[in-house]
Structure 1
Amino acid sequence: MNELLHALTSTEGILIGTLVPFLFVLTVVVFVHEMGHYLVGRACGIGVNAFSIGFGPELIGFNDRHGTRWKLCAIPLGGYVKFVGDMNATSSPTDPETAGLSEAERKVAFHTQPVWKRAATVFAGPLFNFLLTIAVFAVLFAAYGRYVAEPMVASVTAGSPAAEAGIMPGDRFVSVDGEKVETFADVQRLVSGRAGDAITFVMLRDGKDVTVVATPRLMEQQDALGNKVQVAIIGVVNNQEVGQPRLVTYTPVQALGVAVEETGHIIERTGQFLKRFAVGREDKCQLGGPVKIAGMAGQAAKLGFEWLVQLVALLSVGIGILNLLPIPPLDGGHLLFYAVEAVIRRPVSERMMEAMYRTGFLLVLGFMGFVFWNDLFGC
């Protein structure tokens, strides 16, 4: 019995070592996402009935002076903001249930607002996720700076794409597919998600630019959290002698600019991954669900709080991107409806919205099942 209790409650155990970090990461990301909906909705004059972290039975809660019920629920895998008049999952503006609202409620009901207010409120959730990522990176860059290395080639792996392309030790990367690079991390970023793509590299050799083409290949590696990941490489190595790694420090303003840039790179790489995944060019095991995230949270917590905060930033931007996919019932699906409404100058028919919602809901359920399968059995 004591051994079981220790396994559950020690910092290496399931409860403290994995579940608590997982709930911390997920709660922060969900809270910020829903707070985006809430704050922008309130700013647009929309009434809010409830702000919930989690689903299912309420554990604790209170009502604020505006009549909003703030609550923590038993199933901590998400959250929601319920606006006045928001009667169903499709957020249909023609829902007959809204006919029962009082005149005062109709003035602040979600469906009676102009389409731009509804769109702004919906978009605010993913936007706040991106802002959270920027804020975390800005603080980390300002507090710790970051190490960078010159984009130099110390050695080339025999038989690698780089060797076949004619890249040589002592070469310096100038650009990758037309994008200028300043650090070796820039090269890794531009190559790592493009397995099978022919990439043009401009190298500086003996004072002259040399253009070569190499096609990265997938290689299994371990990331900092111990996860096995498939990364595209060309087979060049950078070391301390030629890379001359150095710590770059930033003022708060500089850190903010670098954080915006880094967040943009993550969004770009994630979009690139999703497009390649959709056509079968990415490893399915790269996608994981709650079980994988919980494991990563536990590993990050062991490495230190700053690692856990970085995981929050990465998960936040991922949640923001996924929610912008134009699939009901995700935020992007609602934004698609509002875009159509703005063009045709009338709401999409309730029948069409419900049909698309059901289809989208099945797609979301299928995706959730897929990542759960990956977590438990597939990978």
Structure 2
Amino acid sequence: MGDFLGSVWWMIVSLGLLVTFHEFGHYWVARRCGVKVLRFSVGFGKPLWSRRNRNGTEFAIAAIPLGGYVKMLDEREAEVPAGERAVAFNNKSVWQRIAIVAAGPAANLLLCIALLWAMFVIGKQDYSATIGRSTGMAQQAGFAAGDRIVEVDGRAVDTWAEASMAFTTAAMDRQDARTKVRDALDNERTRVLPLSQLPADFDERNVPVQAGFIWQFWLQPALVESIVADSAASGVLQPGDLILAIDGQRVESADQVAPLVQQLGERGGAGMLDIERAGERLALELMPIAGQGQDGKPRWLIGVGFVTGQAPAYDARQQYGVLAAIPAALRETGKLASDSLGMMRRMLTGHASVKNISGPITIARVANASAERGVDWFLYFLALLSLSLCIINLLPIPILDGGHLLYYLIELVKGSPLSERAIAAGQYIGLALLAGLMGLAFYNDILSLVPR
């Protein structure tokens, strides 16, 4: 229940902030162009709060916090007194109307840059793209534990998320990824990850795992937390022991213990466990006992439980000074915009699944998770969401800002406005497209909540 309420709260905060900036862009430019603004509303429906300024504009916060709007004086919507026709939106030049409509997405773009600047000044903590273990395709390509990925297909990589995005892009394009790494000895090497060999139905949301990467920060140490009474470990191991090796095979994480114990049991006889206890390294003899695993199948067991859920310390930090953070924010904005537009292009051409389209449920969950991780992550989330609103609003779909811009560009070319009939037809088409996208987004959101 706490996660649900937190998700709802942070979604309202996020959308409220971004919508306010978007609509303020429209409002500010409209006022500079001499247009009378009737209402500035954050949210839809019945106003919960409102007040009117000296220019006659009503500022309101409405009950449904999933958008907002700026209502301007317009002869196409209601009769306008003769004395106010000069301040009506429809009587402004086409270039002024273009500026007013484009100001909303522009405000979101500027907000994105400002948020990223603040994030870089504070410092964004993350995990490096260091490999903890490799299997399958990645292992065959030469990737090994301790390798830190620094570049993928010519694109510099600082974190595991950036590396994951670069591998996902290459996989969707059915291309192999030329990757530069620094190994455990700090030597730079080049590996080629054959992502073109992934099956046609690969999961686009989990490409690194399917390629065989297990990131270092995912690995939980084999730190003993509990011991089952009358088990093989009873009287041999103690809570707080760190298992380092089993029968001569190195243990890097808790998930390796069960398979190694299984091998030891199948071999027969006792094995040696190398452990660390209170800073001292010990070698202890232990013989697994036959039993049943959690799935009910026969297993060889030693009877220990490990400490889980401990988040490792961050090992990567992106931080700049106040001035240096400006170009860094611009670069990051450009990179995020390129990734977003590239994903949209791939979905249109069929190279990416429409499962990548998310709606308010996913936004709420990510907003809550980002807020819990800290100010730096929440700023990054807001920046990405603000940029997404900018891009989506510029799509040439009627009823969105991009659709209105398309109308005005056509007006510039033909020398006169589109007919009201054509505009109305466009509005219906736009509503249908938007309803379809929203339906798909909700479907994907709900599907993501169903256990698989």
TM-based fold match above 0.5: yes
Query: Are positions 1:325 and 2:395 aligned together?
Result: yes
Partner of 1:335: 405
Change (3 A) 1:305 1:87: farther
Partner of 1:268: 338
Deviation of 1:102 (Å): 2.7
Partner of 1:19: 8
Letter in 1 for 2:441: V
- SS state at 1:61 partner: strand
Partner of 2:303: none
C-alpha separation in 1, matches of 2:364 and 2:190: 46
Change (3 A) 1:191 1:48: same
- SS state at 1:75 partner: strand
- SS state at 1:251 partner: coil
Partner of 1:370: 440
* Residue of 59, 67, 71 corresponding to 2:48: 59
C-alpha separation in 2, matches of 1:288 and 1:174: 30
Q: Kindly report which structure 2 residues correspond to 1:111-260, keeping only aligned pairs within 5 A, or say none.
A: 111-144=90-123, 149=128, 157-160=134-137, 162=138, 176-177=152-153, 179-181=154-156, 183=158, 187-196=163-172, 197-199=174-176, 201=178, 203=180, 212=192, 214-215=194-195, 217=198, 230-233=205-208, 234-235=211-212, 247-260=317-330
The count of corresponding residues between Structure 1 and Structure 2 is 343
Rg comparison, structure with higher value: 2
- SS state at 1:127 partner: helix
C-alpha separation in 1, matches of 2:188 and 2:317: 29
Native 8 Å contact 1:164 1:214 kept in 2 = no
Native 8 Å contact 1:176 1:199 kept in 2 = no
- For 1:245-273, what per-residue CA distance to the aligned partner results, in whole angstroms no more than 9, with x for missing partners? 55453111211211121122111111111
- For 1:337-367, what per-residue CA distance to the aligned partner results, in whole angstroms no more than 9, with x for missing partners? 1111122222122222221221111110111
Deviates more, 1:47-56 or 1:346-355: 346-355
Instruction: Report the TM-score, using the length of structure 2 for normalisation.
Output: 0.66
Q: Any stretches of 5+ residues in structure 2 without a counterpart?
A: 218-313
C-alpha separation in 2, matches of 1:336 and 1:347: 11
C-alpha separation in 2, matches of 1:47 and 1:53: 18
Partner of 2:37: 48
Deviates more, 1:276-285 or 1:342-351: 276-285
C-alpha separation in 1, matches of 2:389 and 2:214: 33
Letter in 2 for 1:47: K
Letter in 2 for 1:214: P
Change (3 A) 1:237 1:377: closer
Q: Considering fraction of residues, name the structure with more helix.
A: 1
Q: CA RMSD in A?
A: 3.3
Query: Are positions 1:356 and 2:426 aligned together?
Result: yes
Native 8 Å contact 1:21 1:308 kept in 2 = no
- For 1:189-243, what per-residue CA distance to the aligned partner results, in whole angstroms no more than 9, with x for missing partners? 43233324214526589999868473265876xxxxxxxx804335456769xxx
- SS state at 1:101 partner: coil
C-alpha separation in 1, matches of 2:440 and 2:132: 40
C-alpha separation in 2, matches of 1:299 and 1:376: 18
- For 1:37-82, what per-residue CA distance to the aligned partner results, in whole angstroms no more than 9, with x for missing partners? 1112112222211100111112210111111010111222110001
Share of identical aligned residues, percent? 34
Native 8 Å contact 1:171 1:203 kept in 2 = no
Letter in 1 for 2:194: A
Structure of higher RCO (CA pairs closer than 8 Å, 6+ residues apart):
1
Deviation of 1:35 (Å): 0.8
Letter in 2 for 1:270: S
Letter in 2 for 1:73: A
Native 8 Å contact 1:21 1:301 kept in 2 = yes
